[in-house]
Amino acid sequence: MLPALKHSFTIEIKVDKPVVVSNRNSQGKRQLIPILSGSVYGELKGHVMPGGVDSQFVDSAGVCRLSARYALQVEQGTVYVENNGIRIIPEEYRDQLFGNDMRFFDELLPSQIYFRTVPVFEVDSPELNWLTTSIFVCAAERTQTGVKLDIYKVV
């Protein structure tokens, strides 16, 4: 039987300006993006707690490998999220990833960006155990203030 995807919930995250740790076209760009707040809706309802971070490494080919850590406060309790994935933009824009002006992302449609992650969850309530006993994948897209994550359960 082939697996299918069932939409579980959406997380909209508001972020602060990136802290650039290193930036060399030949070696890549490392940045830390503070997570400020956000909302959760769908099978989970609640908000994104402040204090998380999205650690990103953009390699010399323009592939962004990201690893985000943050927490959600939902009606049933607290959820800790480890969300790892990749983002790839069209080749003609990749050099701009190493600059300071990211407004070029406004020119791109979400369909032009491959942005997928695999979240893993820790929970503090038995009502949320379903998050720890299934595989989830995420279709992500940038927004004006951060990122929108549509979380799907693999069924």
pLDDT along the chain (155 residues), means of 10: 96 96 85 97 98 94 94 98 95 82 82 95 97 98 94 98
Distance separating alpha carbons of residues 50 and 36, to the nearest angstrom: 5
User: Which pLDDT does position 138 carry in this prediction?
Assistant: 98
Domain count, the chain: 1
Task: Please tell me the predicted confidence (pLDDT) of residue 38.
Answer: 98
The CATH number for 63's domain is: 2.40.160.20
Residue 85 confidence (pLDDT)? 98
Q: Where in the sequence is the domain holding 125, given as residue range(s)? A: 5-154
Other Cβ atoms less than 10 A from the Cβ of 117: the count is 22
Per-residue model confidence (pLDDT) at position 98: 81
Distance CA 136, CA 44 (A): 14
